[in-house]
Amino acid sequence: MIAVGGYEGEGVAILGLGRSGLSAARALRAGGARPVLWDDNPDARARAAEEGFELREFTRAGGFEGIATLVVSPGIPHLYPAPNEAIAAAWAAGVPVDNDIGLFFRALGQGAWDALDTPPKVIAVTGSNGKSTTSALIHHVLGAAGRASQLAGNIGRGVLDIEPPGEAGVIVLELSSYQTELARALTPDIAVFTNLTPDHLDRHGGLGGYFAAKRRLFAEGGPDRAVIGVDETEGRFLANQLSTAPADDRVIRVSVAAKPAGPGWQVAARKGFLTEWRKGRQVASIDLREVRGLPGAHNHQNACAAYAAVRALGLGPRQIEAGFHSFEGLPHRSQIVAEAGGVTFVNDSKATNVDSALKALLAFDRVRWICGGLMKEGGLDALGPGFAHVEKAYVIGREAAGFALGLSGVEAEICTDMATAVARAAAEAQPGETVLLAPAAASFDQYDNFEKRGDDFAAQVTAALGAGSGR
């Protein structure tokens, strides 16, 4: 645990008692603060009471008396579509609002690092798609190279649950827009921006607000190095904002869409090859085509971002390449769950929006596509470039019929449930094809989360293969 100091003897309110809320409460108590907690869920309050924490409903009169700051869990809206009532009450009382990410960076600044010859580093990764894989890949490559590393944030452990880093240690954080938009301290040594596509627009009041939340990671703390995906306008804008000259190597530009040009530090992937360019010259290359844990152009973009981050820490290209080859990928993200009869079964349940599903489709040539769920804003038209890769779609979810209507020109069978979709796809798949779960939709109409959906897919694949469905 990382103890959070600076609030000794003071009351600190914590709203929301999920993983991050309870973690923050424990870290604050360890640092000498007096945490005061609330959650609308009575079971969550009961768990907090069992640990001896004080409970208080902040929306009642005097709810913020004796409170120095309010720490909010990331799922609680503070601005759009409307401020949470307790947050509005904190504003009215003049109480600053923060989150566990802000506490984390504040606590690290208080660490006893003066005694270390090589202080720890923090790499923070944000973006719309690929941030989990990029974060996990950075962590894996560092470990494979013998560097002490911890993975936390929106993936792995809560940021305050990790151990205080030691000599030359590295903390890799995956940060969502919900986490970056509110943190009062954001001071990573290396910050990574993978890409930007529309998502969470209601929470941020539109695409501009969503980008602004991501941009705070770079604008608030001024990282020593910034790794920026420049295949969208927002990334090019951000890279330009952070650069002071064309050859400024504090910014490393990443692309899978354009050949590197200019004198700056760049990492690109084209036709399956990652290349590093500095001062207008190629200095390293890695063949990504045989890296099984990173299939498709979208994962090659993740590889470029991870490569740039660990290169900025001083790792060599061959060290990084070795780490890539031993990386098995993350569950629910282009995860191969079975291979039988020349057919590959891939779980990409994390493809919850149109952009990530399109990238999954483009990663494979002949796809039996399991899709559908709780549709998001914007429709399905942007999936069009991937339809040429689809042999047939098998649509699940309570809105399956409506979803299927959006798949213009694609043969679609309405299956509704996962068991039917997997059984039908497995029975019809031919050697050389891929049965791919890439829903392009949220899971909440049928599952608690995308992980449960992916687990169900894997279980149904096992059942279908065990039943001898043509394999």
263 and 341 belong to one structural domain: no
C-beta neighbour count of 290 within 10 angstroms: 9
Tell me, yes or no, whether 148 and 183 share the same domain: yes
Mean pLDDT across the chain: 94
Q: Does residue 339 share a domain with residue 320?
A: no
Give the model confidence (pLDDT) of 128-160 as tens digits: 988 999 999 999 999 999 999 999 998 878 999
| pLDDT in the model for residue 166 | 86
In the predicted model, is pLDDT for residue 22 greater than 70? yes
The string of pLDDT tens digits covering residues 231-241 is 999 999 999 99
- Six token digits for residue 77: 């809206």
- Given a cut of 90, is residue 460 above it in pLDDT? yes
Place of tokens 């279980």: 459
Contacts of residue 166, Cβ cutoff 8 Å, sequence gap at least 6: 116, 120, 148
The pLDDT of 83-103, averaged and rounded, is 97
105 part of a folded domain: no
Report pLDDT for 156.
75
Residue 109: per-residue pLDDT: 72
**Residue 221: per-residue pLDDT:** 79
Q: Which of the listed residues 60, 75, 98 is the one where a domain comes to its end?
A: 98
> Domain holding 361: CATH number?
3.90.190.20
CB 401 within 8 A of CB 332: no
What residues are paired with 275 via a beta bridge? 268, 285
Query: Is residue 189 situated within a structural domain?
Result: yes
Average pLDDT for 199-219: 94
Q: Looking at the DSSP assignment, which residues form a beta bridge with residue 412?
A: 393
The encoded tokens of residue 135 equal 């974060």
Give the whole-number percent of the chain exceeding pLDDT 70: 98
Split at pLDDT 50, 70, 90, the class of 111 is: low
Is the confidence at residue 192, as pLDDT, over 60?
yes
Is the residue at 224 inside a domain? yes
Q: How confident is the model at residue 470 (pLDDT cuts 50, 70, 90)?
A: very low
Region 313-339: what's the mean pLDDT?
A: 93
Mean pLDDT of the 219-229 span: 93
How much is the average pLDDT of 171-188? 96
Which of 7-16, 114-123, 456-465 has the lowest average pLDDT? 114-123
Q: Give me the mean pLDDT over the 319-332 stretch.
A: 93
Q: pLDDT at position 112, please?
A: 67
* Residue list for the binding site for ATP: 127-133
State the DSSP code for 388.
Answer: G
The predicted model scores a pTM of: 0.86
State mean pLDDT over 198-220: 93
**What does the pLDDT average to over 245-259?**
95
- Establish if 361 belongs to a structural domain: yes
In a domain, 4, yes or no: no
> Residue positions in the annotated binding site?
127-133
Given this model, what pLDDT does residue 212 score? Answer: 96
pLDDT of residue 229 exceeding 90? yes
**pLDDT confidence tier of residue 471, bands split at 50, 70 and 90:** very low
Is 5 part of a structural domain of the chain?
no
Please say if the pLDDT value at position 282 is more than 50.
Answer: yes
- Give the pLDDT confidence score for residue 155 in this predicted structure: 87
Cα torsion angle, 146, 147, 150, 155, sign: negative
**Residue where one domain finishes, among candidates 258, 291, 325:** 325
Question: In this structure, are 227 and 319 located in the same domain?
Answer: yes
The CB density around residue 42, as the number of other CB atoms within 10 Å, is: 8
**Average of pLDDT values for 95-118?**
86
- Indicate the number of domains in the chain: 3
Q: Are residues 343 and 308 in the same domain?
A: no
Write down the pLDDT at residue 468: 66
Closest CA relative to residue 324, chosen from 277, 283, 273, 254? 273
Residue 440: per-residue pLDDT: 95
Which tens digits make up the pLDDT trace of 333-391?
Answer: 888 999 999 999 999 999 998 988 999 999 999 999 999 998 887 789 999 999 999 99
Domain that holds residue 270: 111-325
Domain boundary among the residues 325, 360, 376 is at: 325
